[in-house]
Every structure is written in C-alpha cells, then in structure tokens.
C-alpha cells in the first residue's frame, strides 16, 4: 500500500467529516466506508479531462448512493472542479454542493442521484449509449467506462435488479459497478431486512462478479483491472467494508449513516488517521500526488480531438458526428402527411411518424416495455433489430416488462449525450415510471415518454388498464411537457415539439380508438397551434358566448357538441396545459377572454384539473371513478361522452 494513497484517503475522510459537521446534516458513515475504493478509482483509473468536465470521451462515474455526496464532492475538489469554499458550503442555499448530487449544478457530477436504485439503473443507460456510439463512430472516438458506486439501499430497490438484468443480457462490458457492502443501513444492520446473496444473483444475470476487502487497496486495484479486462460482461465488485471506516469509536455504527459525527469523535478520528485538527485540511503534497496524472490525461484528450478532426474528412463519420452533436432545436424532421377525414388512432399516427423519421434520425433509439405491437414500435424493432442481441448498432431497446428501469435507462442515455431516447408503454403503467419521470424533469433531460391507451376507451381490458388520474397526475410534475394530441395532425406537431426540446422531458398520451383526422384547410390552426399548448381550433364571429375546451380524443367531441348550439361558440384544443400556461397573459387572454365566463371542458380523465380554465362554477365532463370492462363505445355512452350529453350539461348551467 502507498503511504501517499493512505494519506489522500485520510484527507478525503477529513473533508467528509468536516463538511457534514459544518452543515450539521448529512451522511458520513457510508461515504467513509466507500472512500478507499472511490479515491483509488479517481486518482489512478478514472479517465477525464481536468480542464473540461464535459469532455465527450471521459469515463463516467455515477454515485448511485447519492447520500454519500460528500465523498464525491471531496474528490471533485481534488479534481479542481469545485473549490474548498464549495465544500464548506455543503447543503447550503445556492451552493454547488447540495445534499444529493445534481447534474445540472455541479461540474463533474454525471447524474442527479438520491432516490436509491436509479443511479445504478441510469448507469446502464450510460453504458448502452457508449456501446451504440462506439459501434457507430468507432472505438477511437468513443471508448470509455461507466463506473457506478452503489450501496445496500440501491440493490434493495427492485429497479436496480431490473436494470442489471438488461445490462447482463446486453453484455455491457464497460460497466464496472462497485457495491459498498458495509452491511449497515439507516435503520440498522442490513440483515434485519435482507438475506440476498448478491454474488449468486448477479452471476445469474450474466455479470462478472468479484469480491474484495473494500479496504485492501491492492485488492481494489486488481478488481478494477479485472473488470476492465472483462469485455463481454458487466462487472460487479462487491467490496466488503466497515461503515464509517477509520472512526475512533463509531466504526460499524448505523448512527453514522445519517447523522454528523460529534466534535470529539471527529477530533479523535483525525488523530487516528494522522490528520491535523484543522478543518477542511488539504495539504499541497496530496494535491500534487493526486493530480500527477493530469498532464497525461490532458494529452489524451488533445490526441482524441486530433482523431476526431481527422475523421471529419470521412463522409459517413462526419454525417453521424453531425447527428450526435447537433442541438435538438436545429433538428430537421420531415413528418408524414395524413389524409383528412380518415379515422386513425393517435397511437397509430405515432407509429407512422416513427416509421417516417427513423431513417433520417440515426440517433433516435428506444423501445417498448414488451408492448411493441400495441405501442406501434414493432416496425422500428423489425427494421433496426434489438440492441446488443442483434448487435450494438441495433436501435430497438427490448426493455421487457420493466417500466421503471426503462425510464431510468432512458435518463442515463440522455445524460450520456449524443442520442434521442424514447420509451413506450401503456399510460396506466406510467405509475411504475413516475419517479424516473420526475428525475427526467429535475435533471433537465428531454427524453420522450410514449404512453398509449390513454383512457377508458381501452374498453374490454377493464379498470386495471384504463387510466383515470394519470394525465392530471403527470401534469403536476414541474417542467414536464404534457402532450395529448387530438388527431394525427396534432400528433406529428406534438412529436416535433418533444424532439426539439433542450431541457424538458415530454409525455405524449395516445389513443387506442380511432379519431377523425382534421383537415388543415378547415382548421388551419392545427398546423402550428399545438406549439402554444392551447389554441383556437374553431372560432365564431366576434366575442364568443361559450368556450369549449378539450384535449385529445375529446376535441372531436367538442367540435360535434358546438354544432348543437345556436349561440356563438369557440372551440379550444389544448394538447398541452404546460405549454399553454407558459404563454404570456396576452396570448392566454386572447384564447380564453376573461369576460367570457361561460366555459366547459372535456377530457376522459379526472375533472379537477380543468377548473383552472373553466372557473370553479364551470362545466367539466370527465371521469372521477374507475372504469369497467366493456367495449369503449358502451362506456362512452354510460359515462356521458356524447355530444348530446355534453350539450345538456352546458345548457343546465348556462
């Protein structure tokens, strides 16, 4: 063992203790038990550019155990990415060192972590993106590892095992995961809640598994090298460690998981580790030895850039590199045309859109959670094959019945960069995805969620498959763009909106049942109106006496209902409440004039959301109860989704 390595690890542990103590909040124990592995990884193995934390071909390190954030921040300080003042402001308002790492905030943080299991699962997305781009661009341009540090809590979350199963199937040999098995979690010993033999489990999912003493530096180095040499399987290094390793009296205590160490414990621990009593002590020799590789890594990054510049003279490479690096708002997408008057489900329109653009967007990758025919991704799968199973240039991700891992893997792919990921399932199963969707928004990731079978119109499958509250519920997630198109024309516009986003994820809600395709000659606003979220689809002369608002499949219902009135009626299509709410007041007031208080809304879901547009006394046709198993048309009659009933509700009120 190197004395300098031991000294560096001691300094990292000192920063962990001091940062948590100064904040009087945080998790020192796990960070200290993982410190040996993480410090050796960063100082001896991790390949990055010290001058550019976003260098494209860097190794990615994901701290899935996000509560160990002070460990990561300490290493990022040694990298030169954040200052000692940032360390001192741990968990303070406006600092670069929040309680859990945030990717859009702190240089060197690759993923926002905290909800356990998701960092591990995102790492599978990182590695999948690396494998695809390596195949398309060449290993001289894309060839890096994805390292992930996980805890007992990560592997107790089933999402991690779902993602791990896919990583094993896909043979993602560039993943090296470290499991810090300190056998302690917040509530006490892990044996109180878990008896899993992770070596057997992961070997059963086609992983290469190595067990080491997580405090033996030679074993750690040998395990990382062995993981790098295993190219056909992902590697799990199980590090058997002691919680709060190095503490004077509290080694192994579950109290160190989520509580700062007391001043006397910190003082005694620093003495035991050979550190001075000073707070936030980082000596010059530690920085010098830690950064000894920096010049060689700078040269490696410069040589890489030379390779890229030379390959740009190759037409195929230049074209693909252009797709990988093009800002999303600059995408040029030729969407298909649809025949007015035809009846087409919006899920079918999505399928036609996907078929029309998939050749021209080689970075568009994704798939379905085992619902390819229903989600209209079957042709995409047939055309491009299943990723890894049919080769790493294949673009369909066969996620299986794993909605939550699917969503987190998409986040990882988007975080990696260079791809346009999408994932599809039934809307009712969006609940399985929800926390990862929330993490899409929090991380400012413009991934596309395709949710079909969006209402009780699913019919015979019954209430387990009929979404009621799901659209309204997803609209509550900040910065998530909701898109519920009224027909095939709006579907194409909504997809264009989604794929050209820079920071916001999108959820598109699509019907199983057929809807009439609108004629742009009769409804010219359908071409661009959806970009503002809500727009006047059909208007009257002068100021309207009644405004009907609808989304998705209920827009055609609103148009038919309007014909039953002799007064002046305006019909507003609102495919996206989020985009409409983001418009200036002048626009919103032009669409929904405040003086026009006679308003009604229709959507085949919860009614609550719509009162913000129609007023508390307005009329809302919706569904506030679970559905039933019956043909969709019978249910629409039973629930009153007919022009006659909608008109009757309005007449009773106004």
> What separation in angstroms does the CA of 523 have from each of 511, 537, 542?
21, 6, 18
- The residue among 202, 198, 217 whose CA lies nearest residue 168 is 202
Q: Which two tokens stand for residue 264?
A: 């006397």
The residues, any chain, with a CB within 8 Å of residue 362's CB and separated by 6 or more, are 136, 320, 323, 395
Give exposure, 276-285, as e/b (b: 16+ Cβ within 10 Å). Answer: eeeebbbeee
Nearest-5° angle of CA 152, CA 104, CA 435?
50
Query: What DSSP assignment string belongs to 570-590?
Result: EEEE-S-HHHHHTS-HHHHHH
Give one word for 313, left, alpha or beta, with left for phi > 0 and alpha for psi -120 to 50.
Answer: alpha
- The residue among 618, 594, 582, 389 whose CA lies nearest residue 482 is 582
- The residue among 598, 129, 175 whose CA lies nearest residue 393 is 129
- The residue among 398, 412, 390, 409 whose CA lies nearest residue 369 is 398
| Local structure of 98: helix, strand or coil | coil
Give the CA count within 13 Å in the CB-facing half-sphere of 133. 29
DSSP alpha helix (H) spans, 394-487: 403-416, 430-442, 470-475
Contact 358, 380 (CB under 8 A): yes
Query: CA-to-CA distance for 539 and 536, rounded, in angstroms?
Result: 6
Give exposure, 287-299, as e/b (b: 16+ Cβ within 10 Å). Answer: eebbeebeeebee
Q: Which two tokens stand for residue 475?
A: 């609209």
- The residue among 457, 578, 456, 583 whose CA lies nearest residue 513 is 457
CB atoms closer than 10 angstroms to residue 131: 23
Strand ranges (E), 100-207:
146-150, 175-181, 184-185, 188-189
Q: Specify whether 541 is catalytic.
A: no
| Local structure of 159: helix, strand or coil | helix
Query: CA-to-CA distance for 190 and 181, rounded, in angstroms?
Result: 9
Binding residues for thiamine diphosphate are 67, 114-116, 153, 182, 257, 429
350, containing H or E segment: helix 346-357
- Tell me which DSSP letter residue 46 carries: -
From 403, 490, 554, 603, the catalytic residue: 403
Which position has the token pair 């960069």? 417
- The residue among 120, 119, 83 whose CA lies nearest residue 100 is 119
Binding residues for Mg(2+) are 152, 182, 184
Binding residues are 27, 67, 114-116, 152-153, 182, 184, 257, 347, 374, 429, 453, 461, 465, 512
Task: State residue 465 phi and psi, 5-degree precision.
Answer: -110, 5
Q: Which two tokens stand for residue 106?
A: 């702190």
Contact 177, 205 (CB under 8 A): no
| Local structure of 644: helix, strand or coil | helix
> What separation in angstroms does the CA of 371 have from each of 275, 425, 429, 553?
58, 6, 11, 22
For the chain, percent helix, then strand, then coil, each to nearest 5?
Answer: 45, 15, 40
The residues, any chain, with a CB within 8 Å of residue 203's CB and separated by 6 or more, are 209
Contact 556, 538 (CB under 8 A): no
Active site residues: 403
């Amino acid at each position: 063992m190197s004395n300098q390595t031991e000294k560096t690890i001691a300094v990292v542990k000192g920063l962990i203790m001091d940062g948590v103590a100064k904040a009087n909040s945080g998790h020192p124990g796990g960070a200290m038990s993982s410190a040996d592995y993480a410090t050796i990884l960063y100082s001896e193995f991790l390949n990055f550019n010290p001058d550019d934390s976003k260098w494209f071909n860097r190794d990615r390190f994901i701290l899935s155990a996000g509560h160990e954030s002070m460990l990561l921040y300490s290493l990022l300080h040694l990298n030169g990415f954040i200052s000692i003042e940032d360390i001192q402001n741990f968990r303070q308002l406006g600092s670069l060192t929040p309680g859990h790492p945030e990717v859009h905030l702190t240089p060197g943080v690759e993923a926002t972590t905290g909800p356990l299991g998701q960092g591990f699962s995102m790492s599978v997305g990182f590695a999948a993106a690396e494998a695809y781009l390596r195949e398309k661009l060449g290993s001289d341009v894309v060839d890096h590892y994805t390292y992930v540090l996980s805890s007992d809590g990560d592997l107790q979350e089933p999402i991690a095992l779902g993602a791990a199963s896919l990583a094993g199937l896909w043979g993602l040999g560039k993943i090296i995961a470290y499991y810090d098995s300190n056998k302690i979690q917040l509530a006490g010993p892990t044996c109180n809640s878990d008896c899993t033999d992770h070596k057997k489990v992961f070997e059963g999912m086609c992983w290469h598994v190595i067990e080491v003493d997580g405090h033996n530096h030679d074993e750690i180095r040998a395990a990382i090298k062995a993981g790098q040499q295993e190219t056909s399987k992902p590697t799990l290094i199980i590090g058997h460690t002691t919680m709060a390793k190095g503490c004077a009296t509290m080694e192994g205590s579950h109290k160190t998981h989520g509580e700062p160490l007391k001043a006397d414990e910190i003082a005694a621990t620093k003495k035991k580790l050979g550190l001075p009593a000073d707070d936030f002590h980082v000596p010059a020799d530690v920085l010098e030895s830690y950064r000894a590789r920096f010049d060689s890594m700078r040269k490696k990054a410069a040589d890489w850039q030379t390779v890229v510049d030379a390959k740009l003279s190759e037409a195929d490479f230049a074209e693909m590199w252009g797709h990988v690096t093009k800002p999303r708002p600059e995408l040029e997408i030729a969407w298909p045309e649809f025949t007015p008057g035809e009846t087409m489900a919006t899920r079918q329109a999505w399928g036609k859109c996907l078929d029309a653009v998939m050749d021209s967007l080689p970075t568009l990758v994704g798939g379905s959670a085992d619902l390819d025919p229903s989600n209209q991704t079957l042709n995409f799968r047939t055309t491009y094959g299943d990723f890894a199973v049919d080769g790493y240039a294949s673009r369909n991700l066969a996620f299986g019945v794993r909605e939550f891992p699917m969503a987190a893997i998409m986040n990882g792919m988007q975080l990696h960069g260079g791809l346009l990921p999408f994932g599809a399932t039934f809307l009712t199963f969006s609940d399985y995805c929800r926390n990862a969707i929330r993490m899409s928004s929090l991380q400012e990731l413009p991934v596309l969620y395709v949710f079909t079978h969006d209402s009780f119109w699913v019919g015979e499958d019954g209430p387990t498959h009929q979404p009621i509250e799901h659209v309204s519920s997803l609209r509550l997630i900040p910065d998530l763009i909701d898109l519920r198109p009224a027909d095939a024309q709006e579907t194409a516009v909504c997809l264009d909106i989604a794929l050209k986003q820079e920071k916001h994820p999108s959820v598109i809600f699509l019907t199983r049942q057929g809807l009439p395709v609108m004629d742009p000659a009769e409804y010219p606003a359908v071409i661009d109106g959806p970009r503002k979220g809500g727009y006047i689809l059909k208007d009257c002369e002068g100021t309207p006496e009644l405004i009907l608002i609808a989304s998705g499949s209920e827009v055609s219902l609103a148009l038919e209902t309007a014909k039953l009135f002799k007064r002046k009626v305006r019909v507003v299509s609102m495919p996206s409440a989020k985009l409409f709410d983001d418009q200036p007041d002048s626009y919103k007031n032009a669409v929904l004039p405040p003086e026009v208080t006679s308003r009604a809304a229709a959507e085949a879901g919860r009614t609550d959301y719509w009162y913000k547009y129609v007023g508390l006394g307005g009329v809302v046709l919706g569904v506030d109860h679970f559905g039933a198993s019956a043909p969709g048309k019978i249910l629409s009659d039973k629930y009153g989704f007919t022009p006659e009933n909608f008109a009757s509700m309005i007449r009773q009120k106004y």
